[in-house]
Structure 1
Amino acid sequence: MTQEIENFIMYMREERHTSENTELSYERDLKKLCQFLAEQDMEDVEQISETMLNSYILYLEKIGRKASTISRSIASMKAFFHYLAREERIEHDPSENLKAPKIEKKLPEILTVEETERLLEQPSGTSPKELRDRAMLELLYATGIRVSELIHLKISEINLNLEFVTCKDAHKERVVPFGDKAREAVLAYLENGRPFLVDDDACELLFTNCSGKAMSRQGFWKLIKHYGAMAGIEADITPHTLRHSFAAHLVSNGADLHSVQEMLGHSDIATTQVYNALNQGRVREVYKKAHPRG
C-alpha cells in the first residue's frame, strides 16, 4: 500500500496541482490508515473493504480523535480509493459510502473595530522593523488576503497608484483593492524600512524578516501576538484574525457576500456566509443588551 500512496501523492501533485500542505495532509492520513491495516495483516489494497475502513473510523473515534480530524481522514481515503479505482488498481471503491461525522461549525474569532484600530496603532515607531510591521498589519486588514499570500507577496504584485494587490495561485488570480491608510503605510515602509532590511537587489518579496529573507507564518504569528498583547486585546489572535475581521466588518457595513467572496478568494459562497451568520449573532447580542425587554 505504501507504493500506491506514493503514486497517489505524485498524481495529486502533477495532475491536480494540489498545494504542498494538502499533499502532506493526505500522506499523513493515509500512512496512519496503512499502519492500522498492517496491524490487521492487511496490506494489499485489493483486499480492503468498506467494513475495514469503517473499523478504522471507529478506532479513530475510540482513541478520541476530533470530528474534524476524522472528516479529514475520510476525505483523504475517498480521494485515494477513487484514484485507485480510476487507475483500475481496485475493482470497487470501498470508501464510496463512508459518511463524515457532523462537525459543529465554530464561528471565527474576530476583533471589534475599536480593537482593530488599537492593534494597527501599536507599531508606531520609525524603525525599519516597525515600519514593516505597520505596513503588514494595515495591508492585511485592508485586503483580507491570507497570511501565506501576504508573506509571499512580490513588489510587482502591488500597485500603489491604483491601490490593489494581485494574488495568484496554481489555478487563478484575483485582484483585491485597498485604501489610503494601507497605501501610506506601505509607501513609508518602501522608502524608509525595506532598504535597511533587504540588501539583495534580486529579492522580489515585498516583506521579509529582519535578515532580508522570506518571513515564515510562525514569524508573523509571533508578530501579531506581540502587538495584540501590547494593545491589551484579550481575544485569541491568530494569523487569520485580521482576515476574519476584514470580512466581518465589510458584511456588517453592508457589503454583499459575493463581493466579499471574490476578495477573499473563496470558491464556494457557503464559506463566506459564515460572516453573515457572525453578523446576525452580533445583532442579536446587541439587541439582548440594549432592548428593554431583551
Structure 2
Amino acid sequence: MDLSWLERFDRHLATERRLAEPTRQRYRQDLEAFAAYCAEQDLSSWSAVNHDVVRAWVARGRRRGLAGRTLGRQLAALRSFYRFLIREGAAAADPAAEVRPPQTPRRLPGTLDPDEAAGLLDGADFEHPLQARDAALYELIYSSGLRLSEVVGLNVMDIDRRDGLVRVLRGKGAKDRVVPVGRQALRALDAWLRHRPAWADAEETAVFVGRHGARLGPRTVQRRLQRLARLRGVQRRVHPHMLRHSFATHMLESSGDLRAVQELLGHADISTTQIYTHLDFQHLAQVYDRAHPRARRRGDPDPE
C-alpha cells in the first residue's frame, strides 16, 4: 500500500476542507488502522481493495467489541478517503460505498417522573434574582421542551407573555417554531423579568443574563441545574436535556399524539420523536410486570 496517499489526504483535509486538527487526527487513526489491516491481507494497492475486504474489516472490528457508532465513523473516513482517491485517479470505485455498520441499540434518554420534576422545580424564592432566573430557565425548558441552546439563545422579543407563547429561533437554514408556555413557567418568567433590568447591560437582548450583564452561557445553566438537583435531594445526575426529555415523555403519556409532540420539540423527522414511544412502552411494561398476576415469576412476592 502506498501510504503517501494518507499524507496527501491529510493535506487535502487541512487545506481544502479546512478540518480541525483533532478531526484530522481521527481520520488518520482510522485510515492507518485500515491500511494495517490491508497489509495483513497482502493487498498491494488501494485499488485492490473491494467490498469483501471492507466487510471483513468491519466484521473483525465488531468481534473485537467496537461499537456500531465507532465502526460507522471508520467507514465514513474510508468513504471520504476513497472519494479523494477517485478524484485523483488513484482508485476507480469506493469499496465502502455499500457497506453499513451494524446497528447499535439506541440508548433511551433519562427522564424525571412528574413528582421528581415538581420536587426539582417547586419552591424557588422569586424575590431572589438568581433563584427567579434559574426557576424561569428550568420551568421554560420543561414547559416548552426547549433545547439548552434554544433557551440561552432567547431574546426578550421572542416571548409573548400575553398569549403565553415563545418563538424559538433555530439558526441559519433551520425552521423556527412557536410553542406554548405553561402557567408556572410564565409566573417564573414574570418574576425574573422584574429583576432583569438591574442585571442586563443596556444593549443586551438576551432573556437570561448573568452577573456580568451579558447572555448566560450553556455551561453555567448546566452547573446550576446540577447544584439545584443536589440541594433538592434528586439522587441522580440531572442535566437540561433531561428536562426536555421529561417534557416529551409526559406530553406523550398524557396525549398520545406523536405528531403534536414532534412539532413541539422541533424534530424534522418523526423517527426522532418515536424514541419517546419506547420510553412510554417501557413504563407500561414495568407497570404490567408489577401488577399482572401472570407476569410475575413463581415465588415473586405479591405487590402490596
TM-score, normalised on structure 1?
A: 0.79
The equivalent of 2:68 in structure 1 is 67
Query: Number of residues paired by the alignment?
Result: 278
Q: Give the counterpart of 1:197 among 191, 194, 199.
A: 199
Post-superposition shift, 1:26?
Answer: 5.7
Post-superposition shift, 1:183?
Answer: 1.4
2:291 and 2:112 mapped to 1: Cα distance? 20
2:48 and 2:220 mapped to 1: Cα distance? 43
Equivalences for residues 127-166 of structure 1 within 5 A:
127-162=128-163, 163-166=165-168
The equivalent of 2:10 in structure 1 is 2
Higher relative contact order (CA 8 A, sep 6+): 1
Alignment partner of 1:240: what SS?
Answer: helix
User: Greater Rg, structure 1 or structure 2?
Assistant: 2
- Answer yes or no: is 1:184 the counterpart of 2:187: yes
Counterpart contact for 2:139–2:188, Cα < 8 Å: yes
Counterpart contact for 1:33–1:56, Cα < 8 Å: no
Counterpart contact for 2:145–2:265, Cα < 8 Å: yes
1:71 and 1:113 mapped to 2: Cα distance? 37
1:86 and 1:263 mapped to 2: Cα distance? 44
TM-score, normalised on structure 2?
A: 0.77
Q: Percent identity?
A: 27
5+ residue gaps, structure 1: 13-22
Counterpart contact for 2:37–2:57, Cα < 8 Å: no
2:27 and 2:48 mapped to 1: Cα distance? 13
The one-letter code of the counterpart of 1:127 is H
Post-superposition shift, 1:30?
Answer: 2.3
Counterpart contact for 1:221–1:238, Cα < 8 Å: yes
Q: Give the counterpart of 2:30 among 33, 36, 53.
A: 33
Q: Give the counterpart of 2:177 among 174, 177, 182.
A: 174
For the aligned residue pairs, the C-alpha RMSD in angstroms reads: 3.4
User: Residues 25 and 102 of structure 1: is their aligned pair in 2 closer, same or farther, counting only changes over 3 Å?
Assistant: farther
User: Residues 62 and 262 of structure 1: is their aligned pair in 2 closer, same or farther, counting only changes over 3 Å?
Assistant: same
Equivalences for residues 1-294 of structure 1 within 5 A:
1-6=9-14, 9=17, 27=24, 29-34=26-31, 36=33, 49=49, 65-75=66-76, 77-78=78-79, 80-81=80-81, 84=84, 91-162=92-163, 163-172=165-174, 173-192=176-195, 194-198=196-200, 200-294=201-295
Post-superposition shift, 1:215?
Answer: 3.0
Counterpart contact for 1:144–1:263, Cα < 8 Å: yes
The one-letter code of the counterpart of 1:96 is A
